[in-house]
Structure 1
């Protein structure tokens, strides 16, 4: 039995205890979604919202079997898993943490291989999510893609992905402080930041991790080709290749995410900045591969179209400038009931993803 929802049942900042549908039974927002603003509530009420009353708990209409987890839900489970692993790494060794990190890395590899565009989209869309979990996973996906294009086999890529997942564990004790930081780092903070690669390696070793490529990538992911990085001021080929791969993935993922002192940098501008530093700060070949693999408009990017609509990139194209696009918000600002394909020639520019968090539940269905 479907019950129409009233405004009083929707509250800003509260998660939905049930999924909601339009009058035709189409899923609009899934159970557990967090309402972002009063303006969002107004738009949702205008659409006409309903929930299914079955035992006081929402269930999909006419279920044949339990609904499998969506790709975005899978990525969400990886974030929760990583959060637990980071807590373990900061504590006393209990055994088995290396195996659990490698299992997460393997699962991420499989997901990335099976759904490369959807995986990129899930991590591009959540740029305002918990930095300490979303950023390492995003860096791991980019590292996996770069290493694959460099000719590394799945087994060879595994320690690089594991290094990406754990590369900032040495900063775990001050992540909250850094995420709130609005001004320049103090001398003491900068000393802590520069020490975090070595501290991370020590933590990993304490938990029994001995893989040389994994540890080298964590230790040297802040080295730069011109020797201006840390902790050892290595340059060019002296920087281990896994570390060069992780370095560029780390830079890209960090720049597109908002911080307390700045808004996120659009992916297109981030890639341009990285390309300008090819051969100096970053590996030139890897910079070119990154642009080819991610695209100027990566999956999950929100775009302003000539029609006034807002579109989302659903697939990378044959080249970096021609992605597949679906419009999701009409020219008058209302979410479209059914996303529609649009041509790349309609692109006017990119829109910061965190400005439209209210429509992510609708976007998710485009990625399987």
Structure 2
């Protein structure tokens, strides 16, 4: 029996309507998950019955029925297919609004019928997959440029985007990818009502805050179970997403191979998204600085091989990074790789004197005069609509 199954065992009791001579309606295990008697076996004596009641455990039939019904009710979706002219930024805004409603249902009146929340979040996950296939660069860009929604809404979406791209690069099965994305969206659900308070807090966390943070993975699992999430991998990812490979994480202090790969993916995405997000007490870290910190912590906090995949997928200057070019222009990386050169493509916004172009101008950083000199703070951009940076009809190529 797996560790997951052991958590779903419940104690056999005298109220289970067992009698000598009858057949067991379910398989019986001991407290460690070791098989005692198979379902269908006859209870041959009173002493055997007493032993079953005293030491026996069985699977939670309610959970098994829920899981079976969930699978039957909604087959796992494939990535959503979007039209080529779909604006991913508009779709992400709609998704944020839907997530606000979903979180309100989870944490508020519990307005989801059995299986409905899981189905709804599977659909959202398939939409994120579809948008990543349509324009992964634009979605990565949204992580570094989006400030429209509260942290408790935009952060889980950003974690889901990064997790989707990493899971796809590893060619994980679709059911695992959907569990990863669903977990990324809901990993911090127990912190949602507390997130704004933490965002505004300055200085070290209080003891109360620290305990709330450390307990939120376990509390999140309970909230999600109560809301009808039955996917065990999804729940285990939520439980483990703050574990670290050196054993310094929480809540269980797992290390190395004890931590699910899927949880490592969500955990890494969660940390990166937090780094590049602005807080009331500090500006967002630049993507390059954030990636450097992750690289320095590989093998200790983060799985070394996974960190290398992460860095390879995002690149040194990921989409959405604000950069200065060799000729002094300021712009935003909009593509990780040019089709011609394999180098990042930058949408220049300001000339070397700081004057804004009438329209963004596309620059291939493979050209010496357009080579990326350094990253700069996003505040140097001023207010800009990301759609303009990626909207081909609004750009001209130099």
Q: What TM-score, normalized by structure 1, do the two folds share?
A: 0.77
Q: Deviations over 1:245-293 (max 9, x none)?
A: 1111111111111122322111111111111111111011110011111
1:229-240 equivalences under 5 Å are: 229-240=249-260
* Number of residue pairs aligned between Structure 1 and Structure 2: 301
Counterpart of 2:375 (choices 337, 350, 359) is: 350
Once the two structures are superposed, the pairs formed by residues 177-188 of structure 1 within 5 Å of their partners are 177-188=197-208
Q: In structure 1, how many angstroms separate the alpha carbons of the residues matched to 2:103 and 2:293?
A: 31
1:220 equivalenced with 2:230 (yes/no): no
- Report which stretch shifted further, 209-218 or 87-96: 87-96
2:95 maps to what in 1? Answer: 78
> Would you say the 8 A contact 1:127–1:354 is kept in 2?
no
Q: 1:132 to 1:73 in 2, by over 3 A?
A: same
Structure 1 residue 193, shift from structure 2 partner: 0.9
Q: Secondary structure at the match of 2:99?
A: helix
- RMSD over aligned CA atoms reads 2.2
| Whole-angstrom distance in 1 between the partners of 2:342 and 2:240 | 32
Deviation per residue, 1:21-74 (Å, 9 max, x gap): xxxxxxxxxxxxxxxxxxxxxxxxxxxxxxxxxxxxxxxxxxxxxxx7622111
Greater radius of gyration (CA): 2
**Which residue of structure 1 aligns with residue 262 of structure 2?**
242
CA separation in 1, counterparts of 2:176 and 2:271?
22
Please name the residue that 2:282 is paired with: 262
Cα separation, partners in 2 of 1:198 and 1:354, compared to 1, 3 Å: farther
Asked if the contact 2:241/2:267 (under 8 Å) is kept, the reply is yes
Instruction: Check if 1:93 corresponds to 2:134.
Output: no
Question: What pairs up with 1:136-155 in 2 under 5 angstroms?
Answer: 136-155=156-175
Alignment correspondent of 2:124? 104
CA contact (8 A) 1:118 1:367 kept: no
Bigger relative CO (Cα 8 Å, ≥ 6 apart): 1
Instruction: Provide Cα deviations, 1:131-157, integer angstroms capped at 9, x if missing partner.
Output: 111111111111111112222022320
Q: For residues 322 and 107 of structure 1, do their structure 2 counterparts lie closer, same or farther at Cα, with a shift above 3 Å needed?
A: same
Counterpart residue number, 1:365: 391
1:9-48 alignment, distance < 5 Å: none
Q: Give the drift of 1:240.
A: 1.3
Is 1:294 matched up with 2:314? yes
What corresponds to 2:78 in structure 1?
A: none
CA separation in 2, counterparts of 1:283 and 1:91? 36
Q: Give the structure 1 partner of residue 358 of structure 2.
A: 337
Contact 1:71 1:367 in 2 (8 A): no
Question: Taking structure 1 as reference, are residues 367 and 223 closer, same or farther at Cα in structure 2, changes over 3 Å only?
Answer: farther
Kept in 1, the 8 Å contact 2:334–2:390? The answer is: no
Contact kept, 8 Å, 1:326 with 1:342, in 2: the verdict is yes
User: How many Å separate the matches in 2 of 1:98 and 1:367?
Assistant: 38
Tell whether the 8 Å contact from 1:136 to 1:166 is kept in structure 2 after alignment: yes
Shift of 1:360: 2.5
Inter-partner Cα distance in structure 1 for 2:182 and 2:230: 12
Alpha carbons 2:143, 2:273 under 8 Å: kept = no
Contact 1:168 1:197 in 2 (8 A): yes
1:173 alignment counterpart = 193
CA contact (8 A) 1:183 1:261 kept: no
CA distance in 1, matches of 2:285, 2:236: 29
* Uncovered stretches (5+) of structure 2, i.e. residues with no partner: 1-84
Answer yes or no: is 1:157 the counterpart of 2:177.
yes
What is the deviation of 1:173? 1.6
User: Structure 2 CA distance, aligned partners of 1:143 and 1:159?
Assistant: 11
Structure 1 Cα separation of the partners of residues 124 and 146 of structure 2: 19
Instruction: Tell me if the contact between 1:117 and 1:315 (Cα under 8 Å) persists in the aligned partners.
Output: yes
- Are 1:127 and 1:256, in contact at CA under 8 Å, matched by a contact in 2? no
The CA deviation at 1:354 is 4.1
Contact 2:338 2:345 in 1 (8 A): no
